[in-house]
């Protein structure tokens, strides 16, 4: 963003941005790319990179502060750490994620 050789129109061709950033950097970058919504996401390589992603039409505050919603085929649950019971949305507990997909490299390693 602040590179000394950056031209004013360098980001003009960007139509959206994916980020794992939940701090003010998102807001600062969005100010410089108002035409390209920043979509926060959450994930880990074990579940094929992205577990969740914000939507293009989500309000900016949601996109800057949340990790989005689970993608199709992804599982996101909060469990009671003692009983293992799945807790309702908004509960505090142990986070569990998964999917019926696997990265190709992982399949080769496991074979």
Q: Which domains does the chain have, with CATH numbers?
A: 17-110 (2.30.38)
Structure confidence at residue 21 (pLDDT): 61
Assign 107 to helix, strand or coil. Answer: helix
Q: What's the whole-model pTM score?
A: 0.56
Q: Give the E-state strand segments of 6-72 in sequence order.
A: 17-19, 38-42, 52-53, 69-70
State which residues of the chain have pLDDT below 50.
Answer: 107, 109-111
Structure confidence at residue 111 (pLDDT): 47
Q: Which of 12, 20, 11 is nearest to 63 (CA)?
A: 20
């Amino acid at each position: 963003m602040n590179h000394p050789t950056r031209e004013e129109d360098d980001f003009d061709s960007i139509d959206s941005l994916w980020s794992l950033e939940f701090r003010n950097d998102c807001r600062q970058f969005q100010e410089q790319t108002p035409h390209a919504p920043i979509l926060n996401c959450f994930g880990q390589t074990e579940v094929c990179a992205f577990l969740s992603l914000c939507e293009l039409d989500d309000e900016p505050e949601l996109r800057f502060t949340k990790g989005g919603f689970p993608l199709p085929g992804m599982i996101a649950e909060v469990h009671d750490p003692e009983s293992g019971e799945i807790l309702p949305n908004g509960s505090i507990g142990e986070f569990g994620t998964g999917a019926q997909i696997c990265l190709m490299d992982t399949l080769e390693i496991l074979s």
